[in-house]
Amino acid sequence: MARRHFTSFVCNVGLALGAGAVQASDISLRHGGVTLLGELVLAEQEVGPLVVLTHGTLAHKDMELIETLQDALAEEGVSSLAHTLSLGVDSRSGMADCTMVHTHRDTDADGEIAAWIDWLRTRGHDDLALMGHSRGAKQVARTAAARDDLAAVILLAPSTKASAERQRAAYDVLLGDLEKGGEAGRFDLGSTATVAALSEAASARPDDELLVPNLLYCPDATVTGAAFASYYPPEAAGAETYADAVDAPILVIAGGADKVVPGVPAAFMPLRDEALRFEVIEDADHMFLDFYAEDAAVLIAAFLADLPKPEGIVDFETEHAAAYAVADVDYGEYLAQECASCHRAGGQDVPAINGYEAWQTHLALAQYENGERENDAMRLVARSLDEEQKIAVAAYFATLDAE
C-alpha cells in the first residue's frame, strides 16, 4: 500500500523545508509476553499534546481511518502514535484472525494503552492525549477514567451503552434461532438461552477453550471463558459510562450518518458542558470515509490547540516572563546571526523558528543543552550561549512573524 508519501523531509536547494514535513517511524514494544506494533508520526512543529490512537473492534493501526487521521493530524501540526492492539498475538498486524483461539479480553486494551503511554514518557513526550475509535473509544474512556495525567481525551464514534445493548439483543435473537434450528447443541455453552446466561456459564470456566456461536464479528469462534465473559459482561457499558470519571477535557465526534453506532448524540448530548465538547460531522459514516477523517482531524487539532498549556511549560514561561519583557532584542538580533547559517536570516527554515514565542525557543535551547533534546549542532549552539544570551535571542525570534 502506498502510504506516507511525505515521510521524508522535502529538499529544496539543499535545505529542508519545514512546513508540512513529518517523520514516521515503526515502533515495537514488548508487553505482556508479546510484541506490540505502533507507528509514531511526529509533526514538525507540534501543536498541543501528542495523541495516542486506539482502533476499534478486531481492527488495526494501518486501517484507512487511522492512517488518514495520522497524516491529516500531522498536517495540522499534531503528532500521534497509533498502535495495534495485540489481542494476545505477537506482532499482530491487519484484521484479527477470527479462526484463532481468542484469549484476549476487552480490558487488555487498557494495559497496552498504558504501556504506550509509559514508552512515550520515557522518550520525553509528557504531554499526551488519548483518542479511540468505536470500541477503542470505550477502552480509551475507561483507561482515562483511571488516570489523572492526560491532557485530553478524544472519542470518535464511541461505542455506547445502547450500542452494546443492541448487540446483545441481536445475539439473543441469534441464540433463539440456533435453538429452533436444533443447532445450539454444537456449541460448548449449549443452548443457554441468553447472552447473559452464556456469559455467566463462560465466566465459570475462565481457562477452558469453548466453541461459541459468535464472538464480536467472528462466527463460530473458539474463545476462553474469560475472554467471552469480558466482551459480554453482565452489565453492558459504553464510553459514556466512564466520561464522568475522566479528569481531562473530552471531545466527542459523531458521524451524522453512522449506522454502526447511531446512538452517539443521544448518549453524549446530555453530557455536554465545559469539560465535554460534542461535534457532529454531517454525512460521515462510522469509518469517516471520503474525507470526513480529514474534517475530524481539523476539529481535533483546533480542540487540542485550545487546551491550557501543560503545567511544566506554564511554569517555565511564567518563570521567565519578566526576563523576556526586558530582554535586549537588539543584542538578540546580533546573536541570531549565528543561527542564520542554518535557520536562515528570518529563522524560516531547518526547522522554522520564526514566530516562536520566547519560551519556545528558550526552552528548546535549554533542552538541547541539558540533553532532553538530542541534536549535536544545536547542543553546541546552546552551550555557546549563556542564560542572558538565550533569553535575548529567544526574545528576538519572538518578534519575527511566522510565514
Nearer to ligand HEC, 9 or 89 (CB): 9
Range 39-58, binding ligand HEC (CB under 6 A): 45
Nearer to ligand HEC, 195 or 398 (CB): 398
Selected range binding ligand HEC among 183-191, 202-210, 263-271, 370-378, rule: CB under 6 A: 370-378
Among the listed residues 147, 309, 373, 379, the single contact to ligand HEC using CB under 6 A: 373
Tell me if 83 sits within 8 A of 143, measured CB to CB: no
Among the listed residues 172, 279, 317, 338, the single contact to ligand HEC using CB under 6 A: 338
Shortest reach from residue 360's CB to ligand HEC, in Å: 7
Q: What single letter denotes the amino acid at residue 176? A: G
Among the listed residues 65, 154, 175, 339, the single contact to ligand HEC using CB under 6 A: 339
Cα separation, 246 vs 154, in Å, equals 11
Shortest reach from residue 241's CB to ligand HEC, in Å: 39
Cα separation, 41 vs 2, in Å, equals 16
Asked if 102 interacts with ligand HEC (CB under 6 A), we say no
Cα separation, 229 vs 223, in Å, equals 10
Cα separation, 218 vs 350, in Å, equals 50
Nearer to ligand HEC, 177 or 374 (CB): 374
Among the listed residues 202, 293, 297, 393, the single contact to ligand HEC using CB under 6 A: 393
Among the listed residues 17, 203, 378, 379, the single contact to ligand HEC using CB under 6 A: 378
Taking Cα atoms as reference points, which of 88, 35, 116 lies closest to residue 230? 88
Site string for ligand HEC, 340-369 (x = CB under 6 A): -xxx------xx-x-------x--x-----
Asked if 248 interacts with ligand HEC (CB under 6 A), we say no
Q: Give the bridge partners for 25, in sequence order.
A: 40
Residues touching ligand HEC, count (CB under 6 A): 18
Taking Cα atoms as reference points, which of 141, 106, 140 lies closest to residue 245? 141
Tell me if 33 sits within 8 A of 111, measured CB to CB: no
Shortest reach from residue 349's CB to ligand HEC, in Å: 9
* Phi (first) and psi of residue 223, to 5 degrees: -135, 155
Taking Cα atoms as reference points, which of 28, 40, 112 lies closest to residue 70? 40
Burial of 260 (0-12, 13-18, 19+ CB in 10 A): middle
- Which DSSP state fits 271? G
Selected range binding ligand HEC among 30-38, 83-91, 116-124, 332-340, rule: CB under 6 A: 332-340
Tell me if 352 sits within 8 A of 403, measured CB to CB: yes
Residue nearest to ligand HEC (CB): 339
Shortest reach from residue 339's CB to ligand HEC, in Å: 3
Tell me if 283 sits within 8 A of 311, measured CB to CB: no
Question: Which SS3 state, helix, strand or coil, does residue 302 take?
Answer: helix
Shortest reach from residue 47's CB to ligand HEC, in Å: 11
- Count the neighbouring beta carbons within 10 Å of the beta carbon of residue 318: 10
Q: Which residues bind ligand HEC (CB under 6 A)?
A: 45, 335, 338-339, 341-343, 350-351, 353, 361, 364, 373, 375, 377-378, 381, 393
